[in-house]
Amino acid sequence: MVWNNHENSNMSDQHDVSTQSAGTVTVPDPHRRRLLKQLGIAGAAGTTAASAPAWGGSTLLDALGGFFQDQYQRMSPSEIEAALARIERKAKRDLGVDIHCDNTPPQAGVVFGYALNVSRCRGYRDCVQACIQENNHGRDPSSTAYIRVLELDHGQMNLEQADQYYDPETVPVPGKYYLPVQCMQCADPPCVKACPVEATWMEPDGIVVVDYDWCIGCRYCMTACPYWARHFNWKQPTIPADQVNPDTHYLGNRPRPVGVVEKCHFCIQRTRKGRLPACAEACPTGARVFGNLLDPHSEIRYVLANKPVFQLKSELGTEPKFWYFTD
């Protein structure tokens, strides 16, 4: 509860109720707050038990189950089943929505790749909005988004000169071009190497995923990523119940807790079932091409073979599976 004092008013109801029921927590003075922060998680067990809702708003069984939950890759099928059920129950309690959370496995013979036509992108940001809705991002003003659309001057490739906050009356602005940047799903991902607890890894279909329950929130991966593609949940994402996407995946768009890192996962909940990612579906200009890199007849293979393509910061050797191309 200590953390929530400097957050704005739309924090989850669950916390409000618990504060009243506990009846003990008032706004602590700054010195006490600093002391508590220094004490950290190790010493805070007793403190949080007094101030936070009982078992973090869960039943005792769910709280214990979550505490002893292993890393995703090491869990047995029955343990995964139990974890998925816990996620669904938690979403029902926190958000008031019946969601379906699955762990659809990767398809054999599929490695996903993405190509984006820079000469077609007009900077509408429809992809960003579609991503926010599909992936259950918080709707409050300071929530995260996986896609950043950069506005650059013609002839300019210096990302430090790019503007992601552009908001003119109409786009495209003459003399500018637009470069959407999201997770490149590197074949040699530096974020995976940086993670000290193996909470992030590359799946067999090439998607770099995060086990949000295993992430300790150290944010080493964010500094390791050269594409600014990893995002930290500084606060609990709040979503109105009618805007929650109930079709979720364990490694994808399930509701995430506060204090973990997340990233674009090529809409794993959709693409593993054969559907296009939400950004590709939303793009009004058809600039986005998605497909299986191992299929020689796929559209992305045609683009790679016949169009002038480039990777962002390819000199770093991270081997992105996300290409930009021009007509």
Q: Give the residue, chosen from 75, 102, 275, 311, that forms a contact with another protein under the rule CB under 8 A.
A: 275
Give the footprint of another protein on residues 169-198 (CB under 8 A). 169-172
Nearer to another protein, 24 or 306 (CB): 306
CA distance 40 to 114: 41
Q: Which residues contact residue 168 at a Cβ distance below 8 angstroms, ignoring those fewer than 6 apart?
A: none
- The yes or no reply on residue 160 touching another protein (CB under 8 A) is yes
Q: Do the strands 247-249 and 100-102 form a parallel or antiparallel pair, or are they unpaired?
A: parallel
Q: SS3 for 297?
A: coil
Which pair of tokens denotes residue 208? 């770099």
Considering the rule CB under 8 A, would residue 201 count as an interface residue with another protein? no
Burial class (CB in 10 A: 0-12, 13-18, 19+), 297: exposed
Other CB atoms within a 10 A radius of the CB of residue 201 amount to 18
For residues 265 and 103, give the distance between their C-alpha atoms in angstroms, rounded to a whole number: 13
Confirm or reject binding of residue 265 to another protein (CB under 8 A): no
Which one, 196 or 286, has the nearer CB to another protein?
286
The residues pairing with 271 across neighbouring beta strands, listed in sequence order, are none
| Contact status: 243 vs another protein (CB under 8 A) | no
Contact between 247 and another protein (CB under 8 A)?
Answer: no
Q: Interface with another protein includes 254 (CB under 8 A)? A: no
User: Which of 72, 212, 227, 325: binder of another protein (CB under 8 A)?
Assistant: 325
- Residue number, 23 or 141, with CB nearest to another protein: 141
Q: Can residue 104 be called a binding residue for another protein (CB under 8 A)? A: no
Cβ pair 215, 260 in contact under 8 A:
yes
Instruction: Please give the residues from 139 up to 158 whose contact with another protein meets the rule CB under 8 A.
Output: 141-143, 145, 148, 153, 155-156, 158
CB 151 within 8 A of CB 173: yes
Part in contact with another protein (CB under 8 A); list of ranges 15-23, 65-73, 118-126, 311-319: 118-126
Q: Is 41 exposed, middle or buried (0-12, 13-18, 19+ CB in 10 A)?
A: exposed
What residue ranges bind another protein (CB under 8 A)? 7-8, 117, 122-126, 128-129, 141-143, 145, 148, 153, 155-156, 158, 160-161, 163-172, 234-235, 271, 274-276, 280-281, 283-286, 289-292, 297-300, 302-303, 306-307, 325, 327
